[in-house]
Amino acid sequence: MKCNTFNGLHGRSLPLATGAKLVNPELVVIAEGGDGDMYGEGGNHFIQAARKNTNITLLAHNNQVYGLTKGQASPTSEPGFTTKVQTEGVKISMLDPLTTALSLNAGFVARSFSGDIEHLSWVIQQAIQHRGFSLVDILMPCISFNKLNTFKWYKSRIYKLEDEHWDTSNKAAAYTRAEEWGEKIPIGIFYKAERPPYEDLISALKGKPLIDREYNPQRVSKLFNEFI
Ligand SMILES: Cc1ncc(C[n+]2csc(CCOP(=O)(O)OP(=O)(O)O)c2C)c(N)n1
Ligand SMILES: [Mg+2]
């Protein structure tokens, strides 16, 4: 990919992405991570980013497991999913990223599937074009450590909201449909609504982007000296 990238600490890509966008609003900013990353370690950042509504896109690679660390349960693991740690199966309920984002007033809430490149590319495109925080939860298998949610498992359940002329402005309908997880699993753009991004609301960010302003530590040195 032709892009600037920054590799940060596990779970912390959203605050980094927020910072990058606020300093240089000309950039298209995408934050990426796994389900453990975004909904576990970075769970609070996910909540605050959805509320804050900075104009950034979150791509959450949701394979319903902690893959890299060899297969522990993540917040999106199915109840009953057995692992080397959860030997009796997961006993707690799943975190649903979509209803969570909706309840936090996120303006773009979508889910797609790595097995449908055309759909996924379209959703990512729409997410980037949306002005504000956009969530794309991407279902995908982990062939090494998740033997439950396989390609076959997803393919037999997934259907597209777009096939039924879905109204993306109906939040209550989006919430109800996002709760559907079982024999059938919907993908698509569940909800879309414009509200002013965070950067439009902060007076200090008005005018010249921070990155183009003069860097002059002298201006605050008097204040800093008070703490020495
Ligand atoms: C701050 C921090 N906590 C924990 C870890 C250990 N760690 C690395 S990857 C990972 C989980 C990965 O799961 P997920 O985010 O779902 O990504 P996947 O590997 O499944 O794609 C954990 C716990 C870490 N590297 N840094
Ligand atoms: Mg994962």
Instruction: Tell me what pLDDT residue 73 has.
Output: 98
DSSP 42-110: THHHHHHHHHH--S-EEEEEE-SSBTTTTSB--TTSPTT---SSSTT---SPPP-HHHHHHHTT-SEEE
Whether pLDDT at 228 is above 90 = no
Query: What spacing in Å lies between the alpha carbon of 211 and ligand 1's midpoint?
Result: 32
**Counted domains in the chain:** 1
4 is a domain residue: no
Q: Domain of 121: which CATH number?
A: 3.40.50
Whether pLDDT at 216 is above 90 = no
Tell me which of 13, 62, 68, 142 to substitute to probe ligand 1's pocket, judged by most ligand atoms within 8 Å of the beta carbon. Answer: 68
pLDDT digits (tens, 9 = 90+) for 17-66: 999 999 999 999 999 999 999 999 999 999 999 999 999 999 999 999 99
Tell me which of 16, 37, 138 to substitute to probe ligand 1's pocket, judged by most ligand atoms within 8 Å of the beta carbon. Answer: 37
Whether pLDDT at 131 is above 90 = yes
Range of the domain at 88: 13-225
87 is a domain residue: yes
What value does the mean pLDDT take over residues 82-99?
97
179 is a domain residue: yes
Please state the pTM of the whole predicted model: 0.95
